[in-house]
Structure 1
Amino acid sequence: MLVSYDPSWPARFTSFAADLRQLTGADWAIEHIGSTAIPGMRAKPIIDLAVRIRDIDDFDAHQPALEAGGWRRGSAVRSHPVMIREREGARVAIAHFFTAGDWDAVHQRILRDWLRSHPDDADLYVHAKCDAVAAAARGTSEYNAAKTPVIQEIVDRARAAQGLPSVPVSDK
C-alpha cells in the first residue's frame, strides 16, 4: 500500500541509522534511500537504508549484534546482504549493505539522487508504482516486478549521465 509522503520519514531514517551504529559500534556511512527518501513521493511506509561496509567480512562480523538487536536476514536480494526490521509483523525498515568498492555505483543511491533532481522522472516513477499496486491487487503482477521496467529506464538514464554503463536493477 502506498501512502502520501510523511515528513517524519527522515527522522525515522535517522533513528534506524543510529540503531545500526549503536548495535554494532561500527562507523558506517549510512544513507536514506528508496521512495521515503524522496520529498513529496508516495511510498510504502518502509524506511530503506544504504549502509557502506568495508567488505563482506565487515558485515559478517556485525551480523550477530544486529540480530541480537532485532534485525533479521530476510530478503530475496542476491547481490548484497539485506537485514529487515519489523514491528508487529510488518516491515518498518530494510538495511541494504554495500561494500566500499561498490558504493559509488550503487543504483539505489543513483536513483535517489536522480529522482530528487528530476521531477519528471519522479512523476514517471510514482505512476509506475501506482500501476504496480493496481496490478498486484488484480493478481496480474507482483509489485516489484511491475515497476522494474520503469526503474530500469530511469536508472539507465541516471547512470548514462554519469558515464556509467547500464546494470540490471532487479537482483531477486
Structure 2
Amino acid sequence: MSVTPTATAIIELDKMSAYDWSAEPVPPRLTPSPGPMPQHDVYEHPPTPPLRMSIFPHPRQSTWHVNVLPYNPTWSSQFEAICYHLHTLFTTSSPPAPYLSIEHIGSTSIPGISAKPNIDILVTFSSKDNLNAAIEALNWEIPTAPPFTKYTQIPRGGGIPGRESYKIYLPEFSPYYATTPERSVYLIADVPENVAGRVQIRCYRTVRDVLRNPANVDLLREYDSVKLELAKQAFQDGLQYSASKDGVIRKVLLRGGWSEEEIDLKEQLTKREWIVDVEEAY
C-alpha cells in the first residue's frame, strides 16, 4: 500500500512538533481510573479535560471504564501520520521488517461512529521472520517525535491469540489529545499456520468494511448505541468490555458473510485466551 504522507498528515506532524513535551508526564494507564486532575500549574498550559474525558462521568471507584468520544474527522489524518512513521521505522530498521499492509481498523476508522480516542492499526506480514523483525524494531526504537514515549508490548497479544500487541499510553489530561489520541498497533503474520491470527485479520477488516458501507447504516447506529451504553458501565478490563459487544459484532459479521460457526470460533479463540490469562494471573 502507499504510505506517502499527505499534506494533512505532514501538517499534523508539524502540530505535534510545535508543542514543548519536555515537562509532560507520561504515566502508564492506571487501574482504577485516574484520580483528580493535577493542578493547572503542573502544566505550561492549563489541561483541557473535555478532550480526554468520556461522554459519561464515572465514579472514582470504577474498576475500568471506556472513554467514548464523538467521531473526530481528524482521526484519519492522524492514522496517516502514524502509518508513515511505522513505514519509516520498518523499512529503515536493521534488519528491515517488510510488511504486507498497514491498515486503519477499529471504530476510529469508521466515519460517524463514537469511539475510544485510540487509533487501532493492523500490520500484516508474509512470514514469522518479518514479524519478528518488526517486534525488534518496535522494542529497540528510540522515539524522535512526539509524544517521545516508547510503544509498550502487551503480553499475550492483549488477550487475543495470533497477534502481537503494542500500545502507546498518554497522560489522562494531556494537551497532546488535542493533536492525536493513543494508539494500538497489532502485528499479525498472515501465514497458514497462524489460524487464530488470520481469523482476527478477517474480523478487523469485515467489521470496518461493513460499517463503512452506507447500506448498513442500521448496524452502524446500533453499534454506536451499544458503545454509548457500555460507556456508562464499569468493567473488570478491556476484554470484558469487548465481550459485551459480541451480540452486535455477530450481526455485523453475519452481514459481512460469516457463518454462525465461524463467529463461534472467533469468540472461542478470544475467550479461551482470556480464561488462560486470568488463571495464570492468580
TM-score, normalised by the number of residues in structure 1: 0.83
Superimposed CA distance per residue, residues 36-91 of structure 1 (whole angstroms, 9 cap, x where no aligned partner)? 00011110010001111112221112212112332221122223111112233797
Specify which of 126, 139, 150 is matched with residue 67 of structure 1.
139
- CA distance in 1 between partners of 2:223 and 2:255 (Å): 13
1:48 and 2:151 are equivalent in the alignment = no
- CA distance in 1 between partners of 2:207 and 2:152 (Å): 26
Residues 83, 116 of structure 1: alpha-carbon distance in 2 compared, 3 angstrom cutoff: same
Displacement of 1:142 in angstroms is: 3.8
- CA distance in 1 between partners of 2:105 and 2:199 (Å): 13
- CA distance in 2 between partners of 1:7 and 1:131 (Å): 22
Residues 148, 43 of structure 1: alpha-carbon distance in 2 compared, 3 angstrom cutoff: same
The one-letter code matched in structure 1 to 2:189 is T
1:157-168 matches, cutoff 5 A = 157-160=255-258, 165-166=262-263, 167-168=265-266
| Cα RMSD after superposing both structures | 2.8
Equivalenced residue count is 168
- CA distance in 2 between partners of 1:33 and 1:110 (Å): 10
Who is 2:85 aligned against? 19
Superimposed CA distance per residue, residues 4-54 of structure 1 (whole angstroms, 9 cap, x where no aligned partner)? 111110011111111211122144311100000001111001000111111
The one-letter code matched in structure 2 to 1:108 is Y
Give SS of 1:125's match: helix
Q: Is the 8 A contact 2:131 2:188 kept in 1?
A: no
- CA distance in 2 between partners of 1:86 and 1:64 (Å): 20
- CA distance in 2 between partners of 1:121 and 1:107 (Å): 16
More strand by share: 1
Structure 1 alignment gaps of length 5 or more: none
Flag the structure with larger Rg.
2
Specify which of 103, 106, 119 is matched with residue 34 of structure 1.
106
1:131 and 2:229 are equivalent in the alignment = yes
Displacement of 1:96 in angstroms is: 1.4
Higher RCO (CA < 8 A, seq sep 6+):
2
Give SS of 1:95's match: strand
Q: Is the 8 A contact 1:156 1:165 kept in 2?
A: no
- CA distance in 2 between partners of 1:103 and 1:52 (Å): 13
TM-score, normalised by the number of residues in structure 2: 0.53
Q: Is the 8 A contact 1:85 1:93 kept in 2?
A: yes
Structure 2 alignment gaps of length 5 or more: 1-66, 92-96, 142-149, 175-180, 192-197, 275-282
